Amino acid sequence: MALIEIENLSVTYRSKGRSVTAVESVSLGVEARQSFGLVGESGSGKSTILRAICGLAPVTGGTIRIGGDLVPTPRGRAFSARVQMVFQDPYASLHPRHTLDRTLSEPLAIHGIGQTDARVMQALDDVGLPQSFRFRYPHQLSGGQRQRVAIARALMLRPEILLLDEPTSALDASVQAETLNLLNRLRTERGLTFLMVSHDLAVIDHMCDRILVMQNGRAVEELSRQDLASAKMKTDYARSLFSASADRMLEP
Amino acid sequence: MTLLSVRNLKVSFDTETGVVEAVRGVSFDLGRERLGIVGESGSGKTMTGRSVLRLIRPPGRIEADEMRFDGVDLMGASETQMRALRGRRIAMVMQDPKYSLNPVMKVGAQLMEGLRQRDGLTRAAAHIKAVEALEAVQIRDPERVMLAYPHELSGGMGQRVMIAMMLIPNPDLLIADEPTSALDVTVQAEVLAILDGLVRDRGMGLIFISHDLRLVARFCDRVLVMYRGKIVEELAARDLLHARHPYTQGLLNCLPRIGGPRQPLPGLDRSADWAV
């Protein structure tokens, strides 16, 4: 049984009499400790799936199960302790007027977990930030450092599942490499399950075992990592994404 | 033929904690070709692009031994002369359509403003030219886009509107600062094809500023690699894989590749002599 099971998920936004279907009956399953990637152009609904899992998007059809159980609405504390999300833009996802210490200790306070001091220090260590950063504000950090804080925050409650929404698209190439390495190391150390969204096929290929290609809110094709590397996609759309990938330029 | 030549360009900012040098002695020549400038954030690539138009506000200072565009001395030119150059002869496409278009003005009005003010066209004539400009960047329904506000357009559409706007006066030099960073790979390919066609058909010079080495290599003729305000390597785009400078190699190696090994990606070594 898969850890994350999504069946026929549909998400429709309604406002002022108009409705937009962002996701239309998409099904996917992610095994425990697996890393699953969602790719597609903007507006294909890949981020909406992550938001729907967290209860941040209006689900209009289908089911979401974590570990076999339907997710409750509202999601509640037990869900937060199992599933956490890292957002795309570290400039926008951290509270500008909270120090790192406050950002990192808030989940502990909400969940009534003690040893705040030790846990915050440990969290900074885990993501490779100096402990002297503890009382800094987000604006005093670089983009890569901020994304490390966002990852540390997501890991404060020791979740099993991390939902990663374009975690490196706002970062420079060298900082992207450091962040991807950090995520991979944490996944091995803690046995995490990743569900990751990116528009960069090379990043998805580096991070994920299986890949779902999406277009206009629908699933187009599911590929294994081997299929992608050997260009064995069956649909034209997946092929066009593959050939438009900037990475192709490096092929001899 | 050299369109633009820059010798020993320096950009510095006076701050409370002393002088910050954003660009430290950059020299290059540009013909009617596609020149890429690559580097990480803070490498001075955007400042180099803006200096050409003298678009750096105090406390920033621009110094150069020489900066010449088509016979005009850009360092000695008066502000009036610069205004005559900006837009008409040298245009710049900014990074983010969300922040660079006027949010409370319809796209059509923004496109027509320059045509009416600068070229003195009538409303009807300006409308026709603006629609043509949108068609040139392959916007399918230009009449609808003319009536839309910027927030009603997608990122790719907004970026194309900005390119259309910059190309109306038919400039000789286009400076594109990360014109595709906010876009998807598929839209990115379209925007690049449009720019490519313009360089070829109009014989325009293009400075393409980006942090994506692979993209620049695929699209440009020549590449300048910048690090901390200096050019560390200049090479033909097709030779990029044989780059000699450790920084360029480092930038290439730290990118994941489809079908590449699952080892940790190599980081950049900033301890060597060149990094200081």
Report domain A4-246's class. alpha beta
User: A96-100: long-range contacts (C-beta < 8 A, 24 or more apart)?
Assistant: A96/A137, A96/A138, A96/A139, A97/A137, A98/A137, A98/A138, A99/A134, A99/A135, A99/A136, A99/A137, A100/A124, A100/A129, A100/A133, A100/A134, A100/A135, A100/A136, A100/A137, A100/A138, A100/A149
Does residue B263 lie in a domain region? Answer: no
Specify the pLDDT at position A91.
79
> From the list A181, A201, A230, which residue is nearest B265 (CB)?
A181
Regarding whether B189 and B83 lie in a shared domain, the answer is yes
User: What kind and span of H or E run contains B23?
Assistant: strand B18-30
Q: What is the mean pLDDT of residues A116-128?
A: 93
Q: Read off the pLDDT band of A38 (50, 70, 90).
A: very high
Q: What is the mean pLDDT of residues A186-212?
A: 92
Specify the pLDDT at position A32.
93
Q: What is the mean pLDDT of residues B246-256?
A: 86
Q: What is the mean pLDDT of residues B193-221?
A: 86
Does residue B269 lie in a domain region? Answer: no
Name the domain count of chain B. Answer: 2
Regarding whether B72 and B209 lie in a shared domain, the answer is yes
Regarding whether B107 and B32 lie in a shared domain, the answer is no
Specify the pLDDT at position A219.
94
Which amino acid is residue A46, in one-letter code? K
> From the list B185, B251, B256, which residue is nearest A199 (CB)?
B185
C-alpha triplet B192, B182, B214: angle, nearest 5°: 55
Half-sphere CA count of B137, side-chain side, radius 13 A: 25
Regarding whether B83 and B178 lie in a shared domain, the answer is yes
Alpha-carbon distance values, A194 to A29, A168, A184, A204, A232 (Å): 12, 14, 10, 11, 24
Return d(Cα B184, Cα B93) in angstroms, integer.
18
Q: What is the mean pLDDT of residues B139-151?
A: 87
Regarding whether B85 and B18 lie in a shared domain, the answer is yes
Read off the CATH number of the domain in which B195 is found.
3.40.50.300
Specify the pLDDT at position B127.
94
Regarding whether B74 and B182 lie in a shared domain, the answer is yes
> From the list A41, A177, A247, which residue is nearest B186 (CB)?
A41
Quick check: A246 and B251 CB within 8 A? no
Residues of chain B with Cβ-Cβ distance to A174 below 8 Å are 40, 250-251, 254, 267-268
Q: In this model, does residue B276 exceed pLDDT 70?
A: no
Q: Are B52 and B4 in contact (CB under 8 A)?
A: yes
Q: Please tell me the total number of residues recorded for chain A in this structure.
A: 252
Determine contact: A155 vs chain B, CB below 8 A: no
Q: What is the mean pLDDT of residues B210-234?
A: 88
Specify the pLDDT at position B275.
64
Return d(Cα B161, Cα B174) in angstroms, integer.
15
Q: Read off the pLDDT band of A29 (50, 70, 90).
A: very high
Regarding whether B140 and B184 lie in a shared domain, the answer is no
Q: In this model, does residue B191 exceed pLDDT 70?
A: yes
Q: How far is CA A199 from the centre of its chain?
A: 12
Does residue B268 lie in a domain region? Answer: no
Query: Range of B218's domain?
Result: 1-89+174-256
Q: In this model, does residue A103 exceed pLDDT 90?
A: yes
Among B170, B194, B211, identify where a domain stops: B170
Does residue B155 lie in a domain region? Answer: yes
B225 CB neighbour count, 10 Å cutoff? 24
Residues of chain B with Cβ-Cβ distance to A206 below 8 Å are 256-257, 260, 262, 265
Regarding whether B178 and B85 lie in a shared domain, the answer is yes
pLDDT in tens, A143-180: 889 999 999 999 999 999 999 998 988 788 888 898 99
Which amino acid is residue B95, in one-letter code? Q
Return d(Cα B264, Cα B253) in angstroms, integer.
11
Regarding whether B129 and B117 lie in a shared domain, the answer is yes
pLDDT in tens, B19-70: 888 999 999 999 888 999 998 888 888 899 999 999 888 888 999 999 999 8
Q: Which candidate in A242, A250, A251 is best for mutational testing of the B interface (most B CBs within 10 A)?
A: A250
Specify the pLDDT at position B250.
87
A99 CB neighbour count, 10 Å cutoff? 16
Quick one: tokens of B114? 């320059």
Quick check: B264 and A185 CB within 8 A? yes
Q: What is the mean pLDDT of residues B207-225?
A: 87
Specify the pLDDT at position B100.
85
